[in-house]
Amino acid sequence: EIFLTQSPATLSVSPGERVTLSCRASQYVASAYFAWYQQKPGQAPRLLIYGASARASGVPDRFSGSGSETDFTLTISSLEPEDFAVYSCQQHESAPFTFGQGTKLEI
Amino acid sequence: QAQVVQSGAEVKKPGASLKLSCNVSGETFSDAYTHWVRQAPGQRLEWMGLINGGGDAPNYAPKFRGRVTMTTDSSTTTVYLDLSSLRSEDTAVYYCVKTRNYYDSFAMWGQGTVVTVSS
């Protein structure tokens, strides 16, 4: 099973700031099978990034993903108020598909 | 427009069984896959397994094998999750997720079903 570790667990930030979230895999993950999700309280997760770097439909271009092999990054170039949420990474290459523990962005 | 709609909240006692449903509409049911993912309070998302629309060869996460069964009803385009021998640790929000292919990312989520296991 591939274990995903995200850092930091919580990040206190302000609107307008640039943030970088990290996700490290316990073993190699092909970029095509790596995704990032945003989740707000009481809502289902929303796909943000697939294939490590491609934005899902309707996702603003302030969100970008990068990385390969075992180290992946989600960057938000300039935080908007609606971006305060929990962000989770996922590998869907090797079953059981696994998620990171999430990074919470808070004001 | 494709849609994923889940059944309502459940309260169960320890040792009981659970059956959740997930109606998948808008795309060819037999060619799609449905995953089940759960999230316990304060915990990470946890993938439970997947099944295709034809109900063939479900793949369950090792943690749940022996307790979980996923089935489909193509006449109603509904996918079911059965989980037996419930314990308090099964208290969670359960999501179904539709994908077009086995290894796709998870773009289409149901609204979630809150399950509470308590004596």
pLDDT string in tens for chain A (107-residue length): 999 999 999 999 999 999 999 999 999 999 999 999 999 999 999 999 999 999 999 999 999 999 999 999 999 999 999 999 999 999 999 999 999 999 999 98
Interchain CB distance below 8 Å, B112 and A47: no
Interchain CB distance below 8 Å, B59 and A95: yes
What confidence score (pLDDT) does residue B30 get?
Answer: 77
Cα separation, A75 vs B107, whole angstroms? 20
Chain B residues whose CB is inside 8 A of the A96 CB are 47, 49, 61-63
Please identify every stretch of chain B with a pLDDT value under 50, giving residue numbers as ranges.
Answer: none
Cα separation, A28 vs A24, whole angstroms? 10
What confidence score (pLDDT) does residue B2 get?
Answer: 79
Interchain CB distance below 8 Å, A50 and B105: yes
Residue of chain A nearest B113, judged by CA positions: A44
What confidence score (pLDDT) does residue B26 get?
Answer: 77
**Got the DSSP string for B26-93?**
SS-GGG-EEEEEEE-TTS--EEEEEEETT--S-EE-GGGTTTEEEEEETTTTEEEEEE-S--GGG-EE
Interchain CB distance below 8 Å, A99 and B35: no
